[in-house]
Amino acid sequence: MSERRLIDLPIPPEAARQRVDRFVADRAGLSRTFVQRLISGGHLTMDGQVVRASSTLTPGGVLHLEIPPVAETTLNAEDIPITVVYEDEDIVVVNKPAGLVVHPAPGHATGTLVNALLHHVEELPGIAGVARPGLVHRLDKDTSGLLIVAKGDLAQSSLMAQLKARRVKKTYLALVQGAVAAEVGRIEAPIGRDPLERKRMAVVAGGREATTGYRVRERFAGWTLLEVDLVTGRTHQIRVHLTEIHHPIAGDPTYGNGTSRRGPEGLTRLFLHAWRVSFTHPRDGRLMRLEAELPPELLAPLDALRLASSRSEG
């Protein structure tokens, strides 16, 4: 079992009209869902009284949040090879390959990145449950690239607070179908469950706010390579947004059409890679900027497109 944590949260005047769960989540650097569970369990108090989610914040008061010990995980450490891009006493940044599930879930109890991390790092903090030790964000199974993992409470709180404040900059490389007209663009469209197919996400009225920025990096016949900035972090956001503007990602079996699903010759997977991440180091405040170049299975079809382009120009 991990140790019980107590966090004191002074309430400033400007917080008077905020929702309790949102205020606590932002100040404690925790997910709102996790905070809601803590509040429901009576773990938020002020002046010895339990604070409910519907309570009104009183400026000048101090909230006391108790985070109970995280139950011992039944997850097994597995000797799964992982590529470490950066590591110190606080964080480890890995380059996740496509096809590797990030954390255990129904149907994927073993063989995940978490299982690999438990082998690589002796102790990882529990975050909002035992199944995701150390994780503060995630990547889809079919997406490769950089993933930041906290190795302690300090890093966990700092990174989650940075993510909530949108101070972690994540840039992806995506090959999309067609000629993207604008060299630079921004997509702002709410995302929620597809009402016709619940396993998919879609742009829907009343969905969660979602913003994606992009820049054209290279152009080819029938395809465009983009640098994509993930401003918000909704499920399948990049894939949904690029499909919404009629430029689905190459190799996407879920959101693409016939041509984009096949992708250019030689492509065998989704062409989406978390290429660069920038954030503030949780201990000393220095700017961290890390990159992971495209893996061979994405470089090969891209080089083929470049070769075809140079031949046509010649």
Distance set, CA 132 to CA 57, 70, 230, 296 (Å): 31, 11, 22, 29
Q: Which of 165, 182, 200 is the last residue of a domain?
A: 165
Which CATH number do you get for residue 86? 3.30.2350.10
Q: Which range of residues forms the domain containing residue 195?
A: 170-274+298-313
pLDDT value of position 133: 64
Mean pLDDT highest for which of 23-37, 55-69, 118-132, 201-215? 201-215
The strand pairing partners of 212, in sequence order, are 187, 230
Which amino acid belongs to residue 116?
A
Mean pLDDT highest for which of 25-34, 131-140, 227-236? 227-236
pLDDT value of position 128: 47
Give the confidence band of 60 by pLDDT, cuts at 50, 70, 90.
confident
Reported residue count of the chain is: 314
pLDDT greater at residue 51 or residue 129 = 51
Mean pLDDT of 98-119: 81
Number of structural domains found in the chain? 3
Share of the chain above pLDDT 90, in %: 55
Q: Which of 36, 52, 67 is the last residue of a domain?
A: 67
Which CATH number do you get for residue 25? 3.10.290.10
pLDDT value of position 54: 74
Q: Is residue 283 part of a domain?
A: no
| 265 within 8 A of 250, measured Cβ to Cβ | no
Q: Is residue 62 part of a domain?
A: yes
Q: Mean pLDDT in the chain?
A: 88
Q: Please tell me which residue in 26, 90, 140, 142 is annotated as part of the active site.
A: 140
Catalytic annotation present for 140: yes
Strand, helix or coil at 49?
strand
Mean pLDDT of 35-39: 85
pLDDT value of position 53: 75
Give the confidence band of 311 by pLDDT, cuts at 50, 70, 90.
confident
Mean pLDDT of 280-305: 96
Is pLDDT above 90 for 84? yes
Is pLDDT above 50 for 137? yes
Asked if 56 and 93 sit in the same domain, the reply is: no
Give the confidence band of 25 by pLDDT, cuts at 50, 70, 90.
confident
pLDDT value of position 70: 57
Asked if 183 and 308 sit in the same domain, the reply is: yes
| 95 within 8 A of 276, measured Cβ to Cβ | no
pLDDT greater at residue 307 or residue 160 = 307
pLDDT value of position 72: 53
Asked if 208 and 307 sit in the same domain, the reply is: yes
48: alpha, beta or left? (left if phi > 0; alpha if psi -120 to 50)? left
Asked if 305 and 206 sit in the same domain, the reply is: yes
pLDDT greater at residue 216 or residue 75 = 216
Gyration radius of the chain over CA positions? 21
Give residue-wise pLDDT tens across range 116-130: 888 887 666 554 444
The strand pairing partners of 201, in sequence order, are 193
Q: Give the residue carrying structure tokens 């799964």.
A: 80
Q: Is residue 291 part of a domain?
A: no
Q: Which of 104, 137, 165 is the last residue of a domain?
A: 165
